[in-house]
Amino acid sequence: MNENNAPMIEVKNLSKSFGTLEAVHGISLKVFPKQVLVIIGPSGSGKSTLLRTMNWLEQPTEGEVFVDGISLWENQYRINDIRSNIGMVFQNFNLYGHLTVTENITLALRIVKKIKKEDAQRIAMQQLMKVGIADKADYYPSQLSGGQQQRVAIARALAMEPKVMLFDEPTSALDPEMIKEVLDVMQLLVKEGMTMVIVTHEMGFAKAAADEIIFMDMGKIVERAAPEVFFEHPACERTQQFLSQILKH
């Protein structure tokens, strides 16, 4: 990774409170182009909240978020424009239930990017082939398995040609045998050099794909390290404890 590049995402001293509960406390981080950042941590540690501030789905209480050098605070009036460059994949897929797979992908292309119908459909087909479910183009989301739905969700995000992709626990709602097909697609994106921020519990994937791992607890970054270091020689006691809990079985 080239530290001289301008960061794709920069979070500066960011805090987010929900009422009296402080979910994220004073976090700063940078994600450089083509870098894959994996955020792990116990539930309630604030990792999803942190991720969701990166496309302004959550407004931070304090601090700053820059995406591709643009301050989100100062550019809220054109947040829709900025968001169209940030792909997001959710834990529960959130496919549009009333639309077919193709229509799920073409909707934002057409109304946000103003792309013509035929072109949008061509883009949709390309993305569906990439995630390996072109044969389901005319199905409705409810007719697909969880793994297939999540792959459509990834294709939908990719179709917008984002500069960065955010993944919020993309495999947590899946049956075990469907996790691999989603991770395979994500691995493909890593190889293609997509900039990615991933919140996940999949340690094997984190180890293989991440350039950097951040371990969060109680809204703070406890440890940040390259995956080899993180898994082999975690420095903090809290990290060791967490890893021993989840790697025990």
Partner 1 sequence: MAVNDRLVTPKNKNGLQSADEMQLTKKDFPWWMVAIGVIIAATFWLIQVSPDFKDAFEIIRAGLGVTITTTICAYSIAVLIGLVVGLGRVSESVVWRNISTIYVEVIRGIPLLVLIFFIALVLIPGLTTALSALGSLLTDIGLEGIGAKLAAIENKSIPMNARAIISLAITYGAFSAEIFRAGIQSVSKGQMEAARSQGMSHWQAMRHVILPQAIRNVLPALGNDLISMLKDSSLVSILAVRDITQIARLYAGHSFRFAQAYSILCVLYLTLTLVLSLIVKLIERKMSNERK
Alpha-carbon span 170 to 172, nearest angstrom:
6
Q: Which is nearer to partner 1, 130 or 156 (CB)?
A: 156
Minimum distance, C-beta of residue 190 to partner 1, in the bound complex (Å): 21
157 forms part of the interface with partner 1 (CB under 8 A): yes
Pick the closest to residue 217 from 241, 248, 246, 247 (CA basis): 241
Q: Name the segment binding partner 1 (CB under 8 A); options: 15-23, 28-36, 153-161, 178-186.
A: 153-161
Number of residues forming the site for partner 1 (CB under 8 A): 27
Cα dihedral across residues 53, 57, 58, 64: positive or negative: positive
Alpha-carbon span 185 to 221, nearest angstrom:
28
Selected from 43, 80, 191, 237, the binder of partner 1 by CB under 8 A is 80
Minimum distance, C-beta of residue 237 to partner 1, in the bound complex (Å): 36
Which residues between 91 and 110 bind partner 1 (CB under 8 A)? Answer: 92, 94-98, 107-108
In three-state form (DSSP H/G/I as H, E/B as E, the rest C), the secondary structure along 35-102 is: CEEEEECCCCCCHHHHHHHCCCCCCCCEEEEEECCEECCCCHHHHHHHHCCEEEECCCCCCCCCCCHH
Minimum distance, C-beta of residue 6 to partner 1, in the bound complex (Å): 22
Q: Which is nearer to partner 1, 2 or 43 (CB)?
A: 43
Selected from 1, 112, 208, 247, the binder of partner 1 by CB under 8 A is 112
116 forms part of the interface with partner 1 (CB under 8 A): no
Q: Which is nearer to partner 1, 98 or 233 (CB)?
A: 98
Amino acid at 163: K
Burial class (CB in 10 A: 0-12, 13-18, 19+), 137: middle
Alpha-carbon span 70 to 47, nearest angstrom:
22
218 forms part of the interface with partner 1 (CB under 8 A): no
Q: Name the segment binding partner 1 (CB under 8 A); options: 74-82, 190-198, 207-215, 217-225.
A: 74-82
Q: Contact 9/31 with Cβ under 8 angstroms?
A: yes
Residue numbers of the site for partner 1 (CB under 8 A)?
Answer: 55, 57, 80-88, 90, 92, 94-98, 107-108, 111-112, 142, 153, 156-157, 160
